[in-house]
Structure 1
């Protein structure tokens, strides 16, 4: 009634046009496109200015005057109830008769509140981390695995985090769990085991796009552990062992081929130089004599034997 008396033209204009309210938990396009460089920047509003009643009504003015009179009458005892302090890493979101006060969040330091009219909530701006419980995920290639992760985030818009979502911390945790399951469901098992950093960056981007409307910035996401079923572990171990044996056989075959090529080149050199063959005989005798053997074998040249066979 007081508002119709004070602002008749305004309420007639609002009654003649349809007012579209934003979806719950999603900030308007003006606030989503705006970047915040630091937590000290002014908080974004939930709805456009033309859709919010920022004017003070008669009841609020009367109650404010009465509260000020009471504070003056009870001075200095009322100072203890009016002055509040927030730490460097905190901000205070003040509500006066249910409305957020202009100027955004207060702090750090001392700020002024009016008892019985103002209510405030402290918001911690420090980085918060939480563990995502192990999630059972069915990968793209139909493999069932258990994956857990850790998420680091912080609040960059205190007023938005209070007014746009009931519990920002719980909402972020639930969003991280569903995002982890949905993202890993589109990946193959080999990609999950080898490209953890890429998937962590992709999950961080998805969480940031979904939670920035709540005044939250996701800073880092890390995949902690990927647990495979025992049957799948045995199959992968057998596959890895077979792959190692195949590589060992290939390496041995390559070594024999290289040795054969080297032996062929040595035979060509010995054919061209008969003295090299005699030196090889002497080297063989020295190797035999170095060991304590009762039997000594003397290699006989094939040419010498062939001459006796001809006779």
Structure 2
């Protein structure tokens, strides 16, 4: 019932002249049949929709298709709209970040038309308008971020741009599916300074780790020395292990460290033996 009511309203909107032109169009189609049938029947593909204008007015609130549609001669004009996803490449944009760094950022926007009537009736060139809006939105959003935020939070920034674009293009029948930031170019001098800063940070971190390692090793050595001091047998065992390790190495000269008390004992034995040997002279 609603469809019939809307159809009757649109039929009344044609006026007397509109009805006369409509009847003449039907008459012309009948006279030129069957040639006219090839000119009046149009094929709309599955991914397309047709917005039909009759005497300058959109014939229906919803676009026609897919399949066969009838276009009356002289009074009907139709516009095909592709509903497939469109890729919009944003060229490199020169952007001044919040921390006063000049960068060049490019990106890509994926969108599609979900309302063919809005895309035709509400904007002159929907694709050009979306392209220009994507450029300005990218510059505006990135201009409020610092360079470190741009480099670290690409996904969050891309999602913010997508939300803004989707809200702004809703009147045009556009639905933004995805936004990606492809590349962030920074000046060469800034790249060198950032590389030097990163190198200094890595060196400082390495020094901290080395200092922590030495501190842990000194604590372990202190604990081991305390244990060895309490047990002389363990100290002698460690001494023998050290000698065995030195003996396995390919050295021409091996120095054996001996305890002082052992040397004193050997010296005493030598002196006693010397006294026992008689003087032959």
Query: So what's the TM-score if we normalise by structure 2?
Result: 0.88
Gaps of 5+ in 1: 1-41, 43-49
Deviation at 1:292, TM superposition (A): 2.1
Aligned length: 259
Residue number among 195, 204, 210 corresponding to 1:246 in the alignment:
204
The answer to whether the 8 Å contact 1:94/1:100 transfers is yes
Q: Which runs of 5+ in 2 are unaligned?
A: 4-8, 267-281
List per-residue Cα deviations over 1:192-229 (Å, max 9, x = no partner): 00110000100000000111111111110000011110
Relative to its length, the structure with more helix (as a share) is 2
Whole-Å Cα distance in 2 between the matches of residues 143 and 136 of structure 1? 10
Question: Which protein is bigger by CA-based radius of gyration?
Answer: 2
Alignment partners' CA distance in 1, 2:12 and 2:159:
41
1:5 aligns to what? none
Equivalent residue, structure 2, for 1:206: 164
Match of 2:49 among 63, 73, 91: 91
Partner of 1:223: 181
Equivalent residue for 2:257? 299
Query: 2: CA distance between counterparts of 1:54 and 1:285?
Result: 114
Q: Does 1:282 align with 2:240?
A: yes
Alignment equivalent of 2:33, drawn from 43, 63, 75: 75
Contact kept in structure 2, 1:145 and 1:228, CA below 8 Å? yes
Report the equivalent of 1:256.
214
Which one has more relative contact order, counting CA pairs under 8 Å at least 6 apart?
1
Paired residues of 2:142 and 2:150 also in contact (CA < 8 A): yes
- 8 Å contact kept, 2:61–2:117: no
Distance 1:163-1:288 versus aligned 2 partners, 3 A rule: same
Quote how far apart the aligned CAs of 1:102 are.
2.1
Most deviating of 296-305 and 104-113: 296-305
- If the length of structure 1 is used for normalisation, what is the TM-score? 0.80
In structure 2, the partner of 1:119 is 77
Q: Is the 8 A contact 1:67 1:114 kept in 2?
A: yes
3-state SS of the aligned residue for 2:35?
Answer: coil
Q: How does 1:169-180 map to 2 (within 5 A)?
A: 169-180=127-138
1:281–1:299 contact (8 Å) kept in structure 2: no
